[in-house]
Amino acid sequence: MASPLLIETGQNRLVQRILVVDIPEAMQVSRVMGRDNSSEEQVKAIMNTQTSQEKRLRCADFGYCVTVHTLIK
């Protein structure tokens, strides 16, 4: 199952293991701004309503942080 809001929606109770793939916040903001043509303030406002990176990683069985600028799809 792939769900961007897995923890927020309680779907984490439906799976046996959780893998979180994350990127640094600055990279995340930059990617969303480019993808959605949004301002930095808009992106950060949306991110502030979501589960924090710290909580996502606490809920995860495995975590992977991508720190390069070229992401593999």
Q: How confident is the model at residue 65, as a pLDDT?
A: 85
Domain count for the chain, please give it: 1
71 within some domain: no
- Spatial contact of 38 and 32, defined as CB atoms under 8 Å apart: yes
CA dihedral over 35, 65, 69, 49, signed as positive or negative = positive
73 within some domain: no
6 within some domain: no
Q: How confident is the model at residue 70, as a pLDDT?
A: 54
36 within some domain: yes
Per-residue pLDDT tens listing for the chain (73 residues)? 888 889 889 999 999 999 998 888 999 999 999 999 999 999 999 999 998 888 988 999 998 888 765 544 4
61 within some domain: yes
5 within some domain: no
- Beta-carbon neighbour count of residue 16 at 10 Å? 5
Domain of 46 in residue numbering reads as 11-65
In sequence order, which ranges of the chain are alpha helices (DSSP H)?
25-36, 40-47, 53-59
Q: How confident is the model at residue 67, as a pLDDT?
A: 79
